[in-house]
């Protein structure tokens, strides 16, 4: 998961974040909304949604709590493996073995960089897996994909049932500055509560948890798979997955066919987040698209004692300055899973009334959407879930103090939100390119189209830096699988893991669709199924767990939840009742 995937969770625990990072918190933002309302910054009608296009509201009153059609609460799904779950969560002897095995996984340095070409360290991780999980290797068909990708296939006896697939990745990001770490990033030390080390949270906990679940199922004699099970582990997720997941996706599509998988669950936010006064399971059911553009300015150059008023560096600077000062507009379309998030949070959560009202009406009422969009503007959590982001990430140009620069270029990264597409990005590039071309009388070509021919002063060309990616097709929240999956999550946390947290009924467990700002390996799995979920068992605050930062950790509790949740999940979907 890339860093920005995680960032949005940072506001999950407003207290800790506020104390530790001093960033804007949800609570502060709620106050801000109230303050803004008080001084009339928002349209006055937001307290009385009477927009003509508001539906399902005939009496003019606000929605009541029982009016919950927008976001149905999943029905609990009976837990098949209660005994095994409780054993995994509580048995001390079992825990000892789990701790030892997981600690070992953290001692293997599976760090990758953007430009890594030698992945041979991954072989050590393979060796570790084979040694630690012998029953999985004995029982499954094991495929090594593009050398270090791993696919474990447990064939099912009923070919009419599509297999379920569970994904994770074995690579980690680098450690950064070693002096920022309080202890060795690869010690795998367990302090009685937490495991310390790079990759603990992202995402060896999940990968090893899946292996533990499968190993224990087999050890418990539960290997009569009726529905096939696939475990798929990439090895360069942190560098976009072109070596691992991409080849795994192709392999599975070739072997099983397109749309041959029932559902894929990959890494994502933890399933149990203490957030905004309730417990949330934010299931990532879509991903933003992206496009990287190169902007290049060429001028004739020459001796710097006789310069023109503007060099190619000056010209591109004007472009970049204008571009950064013209952010993309916030937008919330029904297709964006965040629409579902607001509906669920509004109906079931403890949001301030103006925001709750906006959430309930946003799908049909532009004014309600505007309330949310204004709210998102200064909110780190929401800002880039509701707008396309832009970041100037590379700049090159100039070679000598006394010669004019000829060719200068910059690369701009965009993460495209639902409701925008690559054309949104192209038209902004063309707009600012035109300003610069006219001002300096140079040519302009945008996406291979010549808007102004090259002049003797020079030329600007804006083109793709790499292939763009569309926004992911959102996973439906109406499917049978969504109901079953979310029902399992609800039963698991409310009845098996944290029954005491639900005794007073003061907080709800709200299961919502959502998106994140970055991508996972699942972009390579789009052809395999429409049911793609990015979420993982656990209850820690992933921001506190320093994912991608120094001193990354994961707690044993989260690791045991990974094992027990997937033990039950695989049994539920795939193991035949005796």
Ligand X SMILES: *[C@@H]1O[C@H](CO)[C@@H](O)[C@H](O)[C@H]1NC(C)=O
State the binding site.
Answer: 169, 202, 238, 266, 548
Return the number of the residue (253 or 267) whose C-beta is nearest ligand X.
Answer: 253
Of 202-210, 246-254, 420-428, 561-569, the segment contacting ligand X by CB under 6 A is 246-254
Q: Which single residue brings its beta carbon nearest to ligand X?
A: 527
Return the number of the residue (16 or 527) whose C-beta is nearest ligand X.
Answer: 527
Cβ-based neighbour number of residue 480 at 10 Å: 9
Q: Between the CA of residue 298 and those of 85, 286, 314, 407, 454, what are the distances in Å?
A: 64, 39, 12, 4, 10
Binding pattern for the stretch 21-60 against ligand X, x by CB under 6 A and - elsewhere: ----------------------------------------
CB of 535 to ligand X, least distance (A): 22
Q: Which of 384, 385, 391, 153 is nearest to 256 (CA)?
A: 153
CB of 144 to ligand X, least distance (A): 19
Q: Six-digit token pair at 488?
A: 């399992």
Cβ within 8 Å of residue 90, ≥6 positions away: none
Residue choice 156, 241, 249, 433 for contact with ligand X (CB under 6 A): 249
CB of 475 to ligand X, least distance (A): 17
Cα(561)–Cα(93) distance, integer angstroms: 17
Return the number of the residue (94 or 526) whose C-beta is nearest ligand X.
Answer: 526
Cα(360)–Cα(363) distance, integer angstroms: 8
Query: Which three-class secondary structure state does DSSP give residue 563?
Result: helix
The 3-state secondary structure of 214-271, one letter per residue: HHHHHHCCCCCECCCEEEEEECCHHHCCCCCHHHHHHHHHHHHCCCCCCEEEEEEEEC
Return the number of the residue (464 or 498) whose C-beta is nearest ligand X.
Answer: 464
Return the number of the residue (68 or 527) whose C-beta is nearest ligand X.
Answer: 527
Residue choice 226, 250, 544, 557 for contact with ligand X (CB under 6 A): 250
Q: Six-digit token pair at 527?
A: 């052809």
HSE-up of 184 (CA within 13 Å, CB side)? Answer: 10
Please report, in range form, the residues annotated as the binding site for Zn(2+). Answer: 169, 202, 238, 266, 548
Return the number of the residue (253 or 555) whose C-beta is nearest ligand X.
Answer: 253
CB of 265 to ligand X, least distance (A): 18
Q: Which of 151, 167, 170, 169 is nearest to 266 (CA)?
A: 167
Of 157-165, 247-255, 296-304, 542-550, the segment contacting ligand X by CB under 6 A is 247-255
Of 62-70, 214-222, 245-253, 388-396, the segment contacting ligand X by CB under 6 A is 245-253
Q: Six-digit token pair at 180?
A: 């920022």
In Å, how far from its chain's centre is CA 180?
Answer: 26
Q: For residue 159, indicate whether it is catalytic.
A: no
Residue choice 10, 13, 238, 253 for contact with ligand X (CB under 6 A): 253
Query: Which three-class secondary structure state does DSSP give residue 577?
Result: coil
Annotated active-site residue in 237, 253, 370, 555: 237
DSSP-assigned letter for residue 350: -
Q: Is it true that the peptide bond before 203 is cis, omega within 30 degrees of 0?
A: yes
Query: Which three-class secondary structure state does DSSP give residue 557?
Result: helix
| CA angle, residues 571, 573, 577, in degrees to nearest 5 | 60
Count helices and strands (H / E) in the chain.
17, 19
Determine the length of the chain.
578
Return the number of the residue (156 or 249) whose C-beta is nearest ligand X.
Answer: 249
HSE-up of 244 (CA within 13 Å, CB side)? Answer: 27
Binding pattern for the stretch 500-539 against ligand X, x by CB under 6 A and - elsewhere: ------------------------x--x------------
Cα(353)–Cα(374) distance, integer angstroms: 15
β-sheet bridge partners, residue 243: none
Annotated active-site residue in 171, 212, 343, 347: 171
Q: Are 312 and 458 in contact (CB under 8 A)?
A: yes
Return the number of the residue (113 or 242) whose C-beta is nearest ligand X.
Answer: 242
CB of 564 to ligand X, least distance (A): 32
Q: Which of 545, 475, 540, 93 is nearest to 275 (CA)?
A: 540
Of 85-93, 248-256, 283-291, 437-445, the segment contacting ligand X by CB under 6 A is 248-256
Q: How many residues bind ligand X, per CB under 6 A?
A: 5
CB of 514 to ligand X, least distance (A): 24
CB of 275 to ligand X, least distance (A): 33
Cβ-based neighbour number of residue 314 at 10 Å: 16
CB of 474 to ligand X, least distance (A): 18
Binding pattern for the stretch 470-499 against ligand X, x by CB under 6 A and - elsewhere: ------------------------------
Of 249-257, 345-353, 456-464, 487-495, the segment contacting ligand X by CB under 6 A is 249-257
Q: For residue 171, indicate whether it is catalytic.
A: yes
Residues 345-384 binding ligand X (CB under 6 A) are none
Site residues (vs ligand X, CB under 6 A): 249-250, 253, 524, 527
Q: State the catalytic residues.
A: 171, 237
């Amino acid at each position: 998961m890339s860093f920005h995937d995680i960032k949005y969770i940072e506001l999950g625990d407003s207290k800790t974040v506020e104390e530790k990072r001093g960033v804007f918190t949800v609570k502060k933002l709620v106050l801000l909304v109230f303050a803004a309302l008080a001084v009339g910054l928002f349209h006055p009608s937001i307290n009385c949604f009477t927009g003509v296009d508001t539906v399902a509201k005939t009496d003019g009153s606000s929605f009541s709590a029982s009016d919950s059609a927008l976001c149905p609460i999943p029905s609990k799904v009976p837990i098949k493996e209660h005994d095994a779950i409780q054993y995994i969560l509580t048995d001390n002897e079992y825990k000892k073995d789990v701790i030892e095995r997981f600690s070992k996984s953290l001692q293997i340095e599976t760090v990758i960089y953007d430009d890594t070409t030698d992945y041979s360290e991954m072989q050590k991780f393979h060796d570790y897996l084979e040694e630690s999980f012998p029953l999985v290797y004995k029982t499954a068909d094991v495929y090594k994909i593009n050398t270090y990708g791993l696919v474990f296939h447990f064939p099912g006896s009923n070919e009419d049932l599509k297999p379920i697939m569970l994904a994770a990745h074995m690579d980690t990001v680098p450690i950064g500055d070693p002096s920022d770490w309080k202890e060795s990033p690869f010690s795998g030390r367990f302090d009685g509560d937490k495991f310390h080390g790079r990759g603990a949270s992202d995402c060896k906990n999940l990968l090893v948890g899946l292996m533990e679940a499968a190993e224990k199922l087999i050890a418990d004699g539960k290997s009569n798979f009726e529905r096939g099970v696939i475990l798929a582990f990439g090895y360069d997720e942190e560098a976009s997955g072109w070596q691992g997941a991409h080849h795994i996706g192709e392999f599975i599509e070739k072997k099983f066919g397109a749309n041959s998988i029932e559902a894929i669950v990959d890494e994502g936010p933890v399933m149990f987040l203490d957030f905004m006064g309730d417990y949330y399971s934010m299931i990532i059911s879509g991903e933003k698209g992206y496009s990287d553009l190169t902007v290049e300015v060429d001028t004739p150059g020459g001796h710097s004692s006789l310069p023109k008023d503007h060099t190619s560096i000056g010209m591109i600077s004007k472009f970049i300055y204008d571009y950064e000062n013209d952010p993309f507009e916030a937008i919330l379309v029904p297709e964006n899973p965040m629409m579902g998030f607001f509906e669920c949070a509004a109906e079931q959560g403890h949001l301030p009334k103006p925001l709750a009202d906006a959430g309930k009406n946003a799908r049909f009422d532009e004014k309600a959407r505007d309330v949310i969009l204004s709210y998102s503007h200064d909110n780190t959590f929401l800002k880039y879930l509701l707008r396309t982001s832009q970041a100037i990430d590379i700049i090159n140009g100039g070679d000598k103090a006394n010669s004019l620069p000829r060719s200068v270029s910059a690369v701009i990264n965009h993460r495209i939100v639902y409701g925008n597409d690559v054309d949104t990005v192209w038209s902004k590039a063309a707009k600012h390119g035109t300003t610069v071309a006219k001002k300096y009388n140079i040519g302009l070509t945008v996406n291979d189209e010549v808007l102004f021919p090259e002049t003797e002063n020079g030329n600007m060309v804006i083109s793709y830096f790499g292939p763009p990616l569309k926004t992911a097709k959102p996973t439906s929240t109406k499917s049978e699988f969504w109901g079953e999956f979310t029902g399992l999550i609800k039963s698991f946390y409310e009845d098996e893991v944290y029954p005491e947290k639900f005794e007073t009924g003061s907080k709800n467990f709200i299961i919502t669709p959502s998106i994140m700002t970055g991508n996972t390996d699942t972009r390579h799995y789009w052809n395999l199924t429409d049911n793609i979920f990015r979420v993982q068992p656990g209850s820690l605050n992933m921001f506190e767990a320093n994912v991608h930062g120094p001193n990354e950790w994961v707690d044993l509790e989260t690791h045991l939840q990974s094992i027990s949740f997937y033990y039950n999940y695989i049994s539920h979907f795939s193991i035949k009742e005796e």
